[in-house]
Amino acid sequence: MGSVEINPEEALQIEVGMSSAMITMLESVGLNLDEAWLVSLEQKLEETNWEPWRTDHASIFRVPHHIRDDDAKLYDPKVVSLGPYHRDVDRLLPMNRLKWHSLKKFLSRSTGYALVDYLRLIKVSERRARSAYADDLASIDSNDFVQMMLLDGCFVVETILLWKIGASGLEAVQNPIASSSWILPMVARDMLMLENQLPFFLLQHLFELTFPRHQLDYAKCAVEFFAACTEMDLELPSDGAVKGGFCHLLHLFHSCITPRKDAAEAKSRTKCFSRANKSQTTRVKSIPNATRLSEAGVKFQRKRTRNVLDITFHNGKMEIPQLAVNGHFNTLFRNLIAFEQGYKCASLHVITSYASLMDCIIDTPEDVTLLQKGDIIVSGLGDNQNVALLFNKLCSGVSIDDGDGDLASVFEEANRHYNRKWNQFLAILRRDYFGNPWAAIALMAAILLFVLTSTQTVFSVLAYVRPPGNQPN
């Protein structure tokens, strides 16, 4: 018998008919549903709506468990809580007293506004501030939320001003941030925690009311503060639209290290490389480590630039800006990566792509040593094994897409260079022969023996073809 073909429309009609028949059959056997249960489900559906007041993407959120569980301590503040997520942690409560001192000093700077004016300012912006947080903060009533924003915001502003202007009198003695050398870097570290952020617009408003004539620029002061505390060369974006669009301090920091120079050219090059390799692969996820690339003739050189992410590859040379790997590096980059993972508007996952590239390059302690010789990595962690492990875990639990990022061309060019047959042949020679002095000696002896044998063979053939007695006169 021949098979009967059924077109899609007929198949759909049959499926609908079968579903109707099934419902009719169930009703015929007397299967009744609990009316109260059915009403409760319908009511739940009726109440399920998106929150109409939240019209922008939340930019402050908890680090997802699949990222946090790898090393939770990298995402938890150590000294001070800012915002709602860690406000009740016992070990952070002692700093709350200092927040009141910061508020009092902040109010003393303002000649035209009193406490009530600042409370009203935050009250007016409360909905916008709440919408910056991904979590439902309904458990925090309006007055508590406004008080928290004012206390925490004044603490952040005053901490930066304390670093810039200094302290005097009793404050210089009793304020732990001013009197202890270790607390300020820890506070700066906590101020760059994703879960410890405050809406940037509130900080900006507080600062501008205190300095109405723009004697100081808050964003610029914050960048200088973090540059000093992290030992990184930061540059505030010059674009006014970007400058006014920071979500929080972590976003400001992210914007300062995101590549901006020649961005159009880099994007064009990336698209060109992607089109050229589209038939082979749409995503380049990996490249060999620094040792293997070096064996294939790649030269690693320090790039003189202020942008730590500005890595380039050209004519077999990979240029990488110098990176100081200290005690705060891991925490900072993990939080930047978590921010990129959760905030859709973060620019193209540039930190994640950078971490992915460095994870590929740095696989073993030998790779770290190679980059240290090139003055690319300056480590404060001691053992190179620890440095390699740090980079190997940067992207743990993270979604990575290197195909369209600013570093896509680096992945593609490095792989293209490594996969050339001549470069692979050089890599084999360096790894299997020239890496061991005895193997190198044996190889040279074999080459010499081959040359001598070949020479002897040539002379023997010549002697056979033209014997000595047949030489011309």
Instruction: List, for residues 131-157, the tens digit of each pLDDT value.
Output: 999 998 989 999 999 999 999 999 999
Q: Which amino acid, one-letter code, is at 429?
A: L
**DSSP secondary-structure letter at 377?**
E
- Do residues 128 and 160 lie in contact, with contact meaning Cβ atoms separated by under 8 Å? no
pTM flag (> 0.85) = no
**Nearest by Cα to 152 from 111, 190, 179, 208:** 190
Taken as a whole, the chain contains a residue count of: 473
Residue 15 has pLDDT above 80, yes or no: no
pLDDT at 348: 61
**Of the segments 30-39, 187-196, 295-304, 338-347, which one has the largest average pLDDT value?**
187-196
Hey, is 407 helix, strand or coil?
A: coil
Task: Return the pLDDT at 251.
Answer: 94
Does the pLDDT of residue 199 top 80, yes or no? yes
What is the C-alpha separation between 360 and 311, in angstroms, rounded?
14
- The pLDDT of residue 395 is 87
pLDDT at 295: 84
Instruction: Report how far residue 376's alpha carbon sits from residue 361's, in angstroms, rounded to the nearest whole number.
Output: 12
| Predicted confidence (pLDDT) per residue in 82-118, tens digit | 999 999 999 999 999 999 999 999 999 877 889 999 9
H or E element at residue 321? strand 317-321
Buried b (16+ CB within 10 A) or exposed e, 177-192: bbeeeebbbbbbbbbb
- CB of 193 within 8 A of CB of 76? yes
Residue 275 binned pLDDT confidence (cut-offs 50, 70, 90): very low
pLDDT at residue 469 is higher than 50: yes
